[in-house]
Structure 1
Amino acid sequence: MPVIELAFLPLSTASPSPSFRALAEECIQVQDVWCASHLPSVPNGLEPRGVGMFQQIANSAANDSNAAGTKATTMLLTAHWASVSEHESWIASEENQTYFPQLREYVVLDRVRYFHVEGVEMFSSDHSTLSFSSFPENGGRLVPVLNSPVIFMERWLVDKAKKGEAERLLGEMKGVRDEIVRPHAHSGGWRIKRDDLVEELRENKEEYVFEGCESVEGFEKRQKMRNSEKYAETTMTAMLSYNVKFYKRFL
C-alpha cells in the first residue's frame, strides 16, 4: 500500500541557514541515488517521488495555541513510498546512517518525529494521480500541492467509532473544497498507527489534509467552507479536535 512520509525536523535556530540548505539538498540527492539503485520500480527524480522540504511559516491562530507569526523553526520533509517497510529500508541504509547525524548542527535530532499517511500520493506532481476535475484556470490543470507557494496542513482528530461517518461527510464536502481551492490541488489520508503513540492517538484516528494556495491570506478566504452547514455537521459529529499549520516550499 502506498504511503507518504511526513517528517518534522525542528531547527535549533530561528530560521534555516544557507549551510543547512546545502546539507539538506545533499541529503535529498543521496536518497534519490539510493532509491534509483535499490528501488528500480519507483519513479525517477525527486518530484515524481513526492519529495519536498517545506518551512513552517505560521500556525492558525484560531485553531492552535501558537498564533500566526510564530518563528519558523520546523521543517517538513515529504516523500512517497510503496510501503512503510520500503521507507524503513532507507532509514536503515548506510547512506542514511551516515548523513542523518550530520544534521545535528542544525536540527534538534531527539525531537525529530515522522509518521506515514496511508494510501494516497498527496504530494504527487502528476495530475493524473489526483482525483479532481479539470478547471479552466491554469490551462485546465490543477497546481499540485508540491508546487504550490504555500500549503496548509490540516490535522483532524476523529473518534475511531465515527471514522466511517467522517469519511462520508468529508466525501460529501469534496465538491465544496474543490471549488474553494482551485486551481490548486488538495489531498488527504489517514495516519498509520504505531504502538508507541499516546493513548489519545491509539484510541482515535488522525486525518491529514493538505491544500495548496498562493498565500497564507488565502486561508481566510476559505473560511466560508469551514462555516458551511455541512462542514459544521462534520465537525460536530466526528471531529474531536482540529488545527492548521502553514508551510512554504524550501527545497
Structure 2
Amino acid sequence: MTVTELAFFVGASGPVTAEGTEVINQAIEVQTEWSTRNAPSMPQGRENRGVSFLQQIEDPSVYLLTAHWASVEEHNLCIAAPENRETLSKIPPYFQVDKIVYFHLKDVAINSTSGKNGEISILQSPIISVGRLTIAAEKRQAFEQAWNEVKGILEEFVKPNVVKNGWRLEKENETTEEFVLVAGWPNLEKYRDFAQAKDFERYQSVLASFAQTRDLKCYRRIL
C-alpha cells in the first residue's frame, strides 16, 4: 500500500513571499533526501514521489503540499527526523502553524495516469481541483456504489486530464468519513463549464444527496 499526503497550509499574513515558498522548497528537499536514504525501494525524486506545492485560486493564502509515501508510519518517521524538524522550525514566520492540517489517502497516485496515450496526470495539469466531502460512516458503501455510477461523467469531461479519488485514512470521528476527489483541468474556463455539461445535474445530485458538507477548491502548482 502507498499513501498520498495532503497537507494544507495558511499564510501567516496572506499569500506568502518568495522566502516562505523557499522554506517549503527546502523542506521538500530534506524529505526527498530522507526518502532516498531510508526508503530506497520507493520511487525517488520529486516527480516520482508525487511531490508538489500548490496555491489555492479562491484564497491565495491557502496552500497544499502533496507527496507519496510507502505508509503513514514511514511519513511519521520522516516528520520526526531531526533534519526535518529543523527545517520545519523555519515555517512559523510564514505560515500559521496552528492551521496546518494533514492527512493521507490510500492508493491515490496523483502523479500517474492509466497509461492511455495522451492522458495528463494531475500534477502536470495547469489547474487542479480538490473536493472534500463529509459522508456519514454508515452511508459509505451506498455512496461508493452511487459514485461509481456517475464518476464517468466527470472523467469523460476532463479528458485528457484525469480524476483520482479516495478516502481519508485518519478519521476525525467515528460517525463520518471524508471522501476526497482530485481532478486535473486545462484551465479555469473548462472547470467552470462543467456545470453546463451533459448529465451534470445527475452527477451533482449524487454528491448533494450524500454529502453532509462539501468543499471544492482549485489550485495552481508553484513547486
TM-score normalised by length of structure 2: 0.92
Deviation at 1:116, TM superposition (A): 1.0
Contact 1:193 1:202 in 2 (8 A): no
1:239–1:33 CA distance, 2 compared to 1 (3 A)? same
1:18–1:167 CA distance, 2 compared to 1 (3 A)? same
Contact 1:55 1:76 in 2 (8 A): yes
CA offsets 1:19-45 (integer angstroms, 9 cap, x no match): 122222122111111100011111111
CA offsets 1:202-234 (integer angstroms, 9 cap, x no match): 311110001111222322211136733254145
Structure 1 stretches of 4+ with a deviation exceeding 6 A read none
1:4–1:226 CA distance, 2 compared to 1 (3 A)? farther
Aligned to 1:229: 202
CA offsets 1:45-86 (integer angstroms, 9 cap, x no match): 10111100000111xxxxxxxxxxx4x111100001111101
Amino acid at match of 2:202: E
In structure 2, runs of 5+ residues without a counterpart are none
1:118 to 88, 100, 106: 106
Q: Point out the more displaced range, 12-21 or 86-95.
A: 12-21
Aligned to 2:156: 179
What is the alpha-carbon distance in structure 2 between the residues aligned to residue 169 and residue 202 of structure 1?
22
Superposition CA RMSD, Å: 1.7
1:97–1:228 CA distance, 2 compared to 1 (3 A)? same
What does 1:24-63 correspond to in 2, within 5 Å? 24-58=24-58
CA offsets 1:144-190 (integer angstroms, 9 cap, x no match): 11111111111111121111111111111232222111111110100
What does 1:88-237 correspond to in 2, within 5 Å? 88-121=76-109, 123-124=110-111, 126-127=112-113, 130=114, 134=116, 140-194=117-171, 197=172, 201-223=173-195, 224=197, 227-236=200-209
Contact 1:169 1:230 in 2 (8 A): no
Aligned to 1:19: 19
Contact 1:173 1:231 in 2 (8 A): no
What is the alpha-carbon distance in structure 1 between the residues aligned to residue 200 and residue 157 of structure 2?
13
What is the alpha-carbon distance in structure 1 between the residues aligned to residue 182 and residue 76 of structure 2?
24
SS at match of 2:57: strand
SS at match of 1:99: helix
In structure 1, runs of 5+ residues without a counterpart are 59-69, 135-139
What is the alpha-carbon distance in structure 2 between the residues aligned to residue 225 and residue 77 of structure 1?
33
What is the alpha-carbon distance in structure 1 between the residues aligned to residue 211 and residue 61 of structure 2?
28
Contact 2:150 2:202 in 1 (8 A): no
Q: Point out the more displaced range, 43-52 or 7-16.
A: 7-16
Aligned to 2:4: 4
Amino acid at match of 1:216: L
CA offsets 1:86-138 (integer angstroms, 9 cap, x no match): 110101111111100111111111221111112322x12x33xx3x7x3xxxx
